[in-house]
Amino acid sequence: MKGDYQDLVDEISALLGAPATLENRDFRLIAFGAHDSDDDAVMDPVRTRSILTRQSTAAVRSWFEAFGIARATGPVRIPAAPEAGVHRGRICLPVRFREVVQGYVWLLDQEPGPGPQALAAAMEVARRIGVLLAEEAKAGADLSREFLAVLTAGRGWQQDMAVAALRVALGAGGEGTHAVVCLAPWSGEALQSVPGAAAVCVAPWRASGGAEAGPGQEGGRGAGRALAVLVRLRSTDTLTPAVNLASRLLSQAAPAAGGVPAAGGAAGITAGVAEPVRALTELSAGWRQAAAAARAAAAQPRLGPVAQWSGIGPYRMLADLASDPAGDPSARPLLAPAHRELARTAEVFLDCAGQAGRAAAALGIHRQTLYYRLGRVEQLTGLDLDAGEDRLLLHMALKASRLQA
């Protein structure tokens, strides 16, 4: 399909007499037209960077989007803005399919510029590109069965068969680097069109510390569902495409998931992004990372609403614990609702590495009040907060309890 995009971009370049560049809706380069001009200005910094790095900067993207290109149905002329790194004016041809923007075709603007007939012909080609981009996005959703099988097959020959089926379904797209994204909880169906996604499915998700439900299981303590998205990456050096996709889906999640906006993300939904994987056999591990990051974002708002697994700290380990921390005899009394303030005091004290001055300042209380509360914590738990192992046990229990909320 890459060749189809290149042919269509070359067609637009010929129609308008200028090299064209095609980017998806996330400003990731798809194809670009060659140029034979001796004028170095044709390759201004924005176009050069887009071609060399396969993406535009956030400042350039913000500048272009301010001109309403995501809503436009026809060509948009955008003036130069050296302060944003845009040294030449642009003509943007929005690429749409059924009223949804799929990407953008860019050309450097110059006097006198292409006439109305040439621009109209180029927009017809842009519409053909829109059909291809929409079909590619829909193909990702159509792989939901194969993608789900890889995430839930477990180990051994069943996983080998599931991975082989997904590899065949993805074709050439199965090679290279991917990232898994998790949006949870998810009460709707899998989205039919997710631009930039290689595959999409609704998968079992371990909510509130319970065991994950198997395929077809809805009930049980902690059983839930999440939206799983497979994103192709250009390299292992950046997760930007996956993070951007997660943010975009999160902003659209309330109506899609049938929810009402709440704390955290839309409809109380949070998103997790796994580390890049180089082989499809690593996708199940990537899914566990993405699900853990989504749970951590829900438990600790400062991590979300989109959390990367590499940035959730101790929750990387705590999310994998099978036991219920509230079941520990020492932690159970402190985690009761009646002692919520004592639990918070103990958590802040331990977060401050046991430094009473820092903890008292963070809590906004007198140091003697802190000592009194810590004494009550020791009475309730039977733990000695001067003992390293007891402090470790309590700290883990308090952090893990957030995942149970």
Least confident of 82-91, 93-102, 208-217, 218-227: 208-217
DSSP string, 283-351: HHHHHHHHHHHHHHHHH-GGG-SEEEGGG-TTHHHHTT--S-GGGSTTTTTTTSGGGHHHHHHHHHHHH
Split at pLDDT 50, 70, 90, the class of 14 is: very high
CA 15/CA 223 separation, integer angstroms: 56
Closest CA to 294 of 376, 180, 211: 180
Please write the tens of the pLDDT for every residue from 325-362: 445 678 888 988 899 999 999 999 999 999 999 999 99
Q: And the tokens for 278?
A: 């180089």
**Final residue of a domain: which of 139, 163, 194?**
139
Q: How far is CA 287 from the centre of its chain?
A: 12
CA 371 to chain centre: 42
Which of these, 244, 238, 248, lies nearest to 177 by C-alpha position?
Answer: 238
Residues 64 and 200 in one domain: no
304 shares its domain with 362 = no
Instruction: Judge whether residue 184 has pLDDT over 70.
Output: yes
- The predicted pLDDT at position 276 comes to 95
Q: Which two tokens stand for residue 161?
A: 């068969």
Task: Say whether both 182 and 300 belong to one domain.
Answer: yes
The model's pTM: 0.57
Contact (Cβ atoms closer than 8 angstroms) between residue 185 and residue 224:
yes
For residue 105, is pLDDT > 80? yes
At residue 254 the predicted structure's pLDDT band, cuts being 50, 70 and 90, is low
> Which residues does 204 contact at the CB level (< 8 Å), separation at least 6?
152, 212, 213, 214, 215, 217, 223, 224, 225, 226
Last residue of a domain, one of 105, 139, 173: 139
Residue 258 has pLDDT above 60, yes or no: no
- Looking up residue 108, the CATH number of its domain turns out to be 3.30.450.40
The answer for residues whose C-beta is within 8 angstroms of residue 252's C-beta and 6 or more apart is 266
pLDDT of residue 209: 42
* Position 321 pLDDT exceeds 70: no
Range from 194-198, 300-304, 376-380 that averages highest in pLDDT: 376-380
166 and 272 co-located in one domain: yes
Distance CA 405, CA 402 (A): 5
Same structural domain, 309 and 340? no
Q: How far apart are CA 321 and CA 288, in angstroms?
A: 12
**Quick one: average pLDDT of 276-280?**
93
Query: Looking at the predicted structure, is the pLDDT value of residue 312 above 80?
Result: yes
Q: What is the pLDDT of residue 216?
A: 39
Identify the domain boundary among 318, 333, 364: 318
Whether the pLDDT of residue 208 is over 50: the answer is no
Strands of 177-184's sheet, edge to edge?
A: 197-206, 223-233, 177-184, 270-273, 306-308
Residues 214 and 268 in one domain: yes
Residues 290 and 386 in one domain: no
Q: What are phi and psi of 313, to 5 degrees?
A: 60, -130
Same domain, 351 and 307: no
Domain boundaries, position 32: 2-139
d(CA 30, CA 14): 18
Residue 143 has pLDDT above 60, yes or no: yes
Residue that wins the pLDDT comparison between 383 and 193? 383
Q: Is the dihedral of CA 12, 16, 21, 24 positive or negative?
A: negative
pLDDT of amino acid 210 = 41
Q: Is the pLDDT of residue 89 over 50?
A: yes
Tokens in use for 289? 């990372």
Question: In this prediction, what percent of the chain has a pLDDT beyond 70?
Answer: 80
Judgement on whether residues 98 and 181 belong to the same structural domain of the protein: no
Quickly state the pLDDT bin for 53 (edges 50, 70, 90): very low
| Better-predicted residue by pLDDT, 15 or 218 | 15
In CATH, what number is assigned to the domain containing residue 389? 1.10.10.2840
pLDDT at 285 over 50: yes
Buried b (16+ CB within 10 A) or exposed e, 29-49: bbbbbeeeeeeeebebebbeb
For residues 301 and 202, state if they share a domain: yes
pLDDT at 34: 63
Contacts (Cβ under 8 Å, ≥6 apart) of 237: none
Residues 293 and 147 in one domain: yes
How far is residue 185's CA from residue 205's CA, in Å, rounded to a whole number? 8
Let me know: does 6 contact 125? Beta carbons within 8 Å: no
Domain total for the chain?
A: 3
- CA 381 – CA 358 distance, rounded (Å): 23
> Angle formed by the axes of helices 144-152 and 157-170, to 10°?
150
pLDDT at position 279, please?
Answer: 92
Q: Could you tell me if 159 and 260 lie in one domain?
A: yes
Q: What percent of the chain has pLDDT over 90?
A: 43
In DSSP terms, 28 is beta-bridged to 55
pLDDT at 284: 93
Q: Who has greater pLDDT, 303 or 324?
A: 303
223 pLDDT exceeds 70? no
**pLDDT for 224:** 83
Residue 47: pLDDT over 70? no
